[in-house]
Amino acid sequence: MRKILIVGAGQSGLQLALGLQSHGYEVTVMSNRTADEIRGGRVMSTQCMFDQALQHERDLEINFWEDQSPRTEGLGVSVVGPDGSRVIDWVGRLDSYAQSIDQRVKMAGWLETFAQRGGQLVIHGAAVSDLDFFARTYDLVLVAAGKGELVTMFERDASRSPYDKPQRALAVSYVHGLERRPEHPEMLAVRFNLVPGVGELFMIPGYTVSGACDILFWEGIPGGPLDVFQGVKDPAEHLDLTLELMKRFTPWEYDRARKVELTDAGGTLAGRYAPTVRKPVGRLPSGGAVLGVADVVVANDPITGQGSNTASKCAASYLAAILERGDEPFDEEWMQATFERFWQDTARHVTKWSNGLLAPPPEHVLQLIGAGMEHQELADRFANAFSDPSDLENWFFDPEKAQAYLASLASA
């Protein structure tokens, strides 16, 4: 029986651990927190997951909260004009629903499930020296902890990382009491509000430790009017700032948020990081190699809501590669090839999309977003790209393909 160590207990690490466990591998998970500490801690992300990523959880039968969580059926886009009004406003319908399940709920539950199924769980904040010791007793070591010292083992890939500084200041609030959008009260939808030159506001239906909720998520251009959350420690002050900014920049969203309250004392999060792609093989002091997983090696800005989706797809891709390997060694050549398959199939499309949206949009993208008002087919196609970003290569990224698509819509 092959022995595998996974360091990190997030979406990708635990999904991969549970998948390997189901195929009879001897798996150890190293987490810096217990399930109870995760469940009682602060929120970690917004984690809205779309159908392709959710299917990987269904395939492993670890979609424990699917029937409890609200089902998001659409994705809407609003753009603020120079006078502060909505100059663009439409909603696309998803082919299959999305869900956002608080990682405190999911990771705590998955960690307990892993242990109950006989997995070895080590509660320890691993350092590079620890991995150097442990690596000798495992056939494969995977690093799925996207923060801290371990990330320094993985060299930044400058050819795939156009930014070296954070491009957005992030601020998240989990709330109860948000009213439905009056334009589509019958349909739960993620709302994507773009305020040019300022930032973006996302409104995401979710499920948290206290049940159904909504997530208010500001992405502010650093140094701009939304970049005001650094140093704010009090959750109530964090929410007040969030609502003040909504009242100023997106009053139509503020109108339905007047009565919201935080879900719990841990329901806020703020921070920033530079979008970075890293080389997938980390080198230990003794010379051994470890393989980076998900946001250890591909950390995109959450502007396209792809973090948990990409993590799920990475876990599924790596699981397939490990199973295909059989009894052959998990050498450095295999590690590189395993990452490249994940990059080509998934991560490159997400990285291109996320980095593109961080910059001022080119003319053809403005035309496409505007055309969502006239063409429901385009609105629906954009919404479903959040499940399958590879489709954007066919009509969104390239100006000529965009013009050809717009012409086809017009002629139809």
How confident is the model at residue 412, as a pLDDT? 85
Q: Of 221, 246, 271, which residue is a domain's last?
A: 271
How confident is the model at residue 179, as a pLDDT? 96
For 36-50, 177-191, 262-276, 375-389, which range has the lowest pLDDT when averaged over its residues? 177-191
pLDDT at 328 over 80: yes
Query: Which residues neighbour 69 within 8 Å (Cβ) at sequence distance 6 or greater?
Result: 99, 100, 101, 206, 207, 212
188 in the same domain as 153: no
Q: Of 247, 271, 295, which residue is a domain's last?
A: 271
333 in the same domain as 312: yes
The CATH number linked to 230 is: 3.30.9.40
Closest residue by Cα to residue 78 from 62, 91, 66, 59: 91
Query: What share of the chain in percent tops pLDDT 70?
Result: 100
Q: Is residue 52 part of a domain?
A: yes
Q: Is residue 67 part of a domain?
A: no
257 in the same domain as 110: no
Q: Is residue 351 part of a domain?
A: yes
293 in the same domain as 339: yes
Q: Are 198 and 186 in contact (CB under 8 A)?
A: no
Q: What is the CA radius of gyration of the chain?
A: 21
Predicted confidence (pLDDT) per residue in 265-275, tens digit: 999 999 999 99
Q: Are 217 and 170 in contact (CB under 8 A)?
A: yes
How many domains are contained in the chain? 3
396 in the same domain as 293: no
246 in the same domain as 324: no
Range of the domain at 369: 363-411
180 in the same domain as 86: yes
pLDDT at 149 over 80: yes
Predicted confidence (pLDDT) per residue in 357-369, tens digit: 999 999 999 999 9
Work out the mean pLDDT of the chain and round it to a whole number.
96
For 159-163, 181-185, 340-344, which range has the lowest pLDDT when averaged over its residues? 181-185
Q: Of 271, 302, 336, which residue is a domain's last?
A: 271
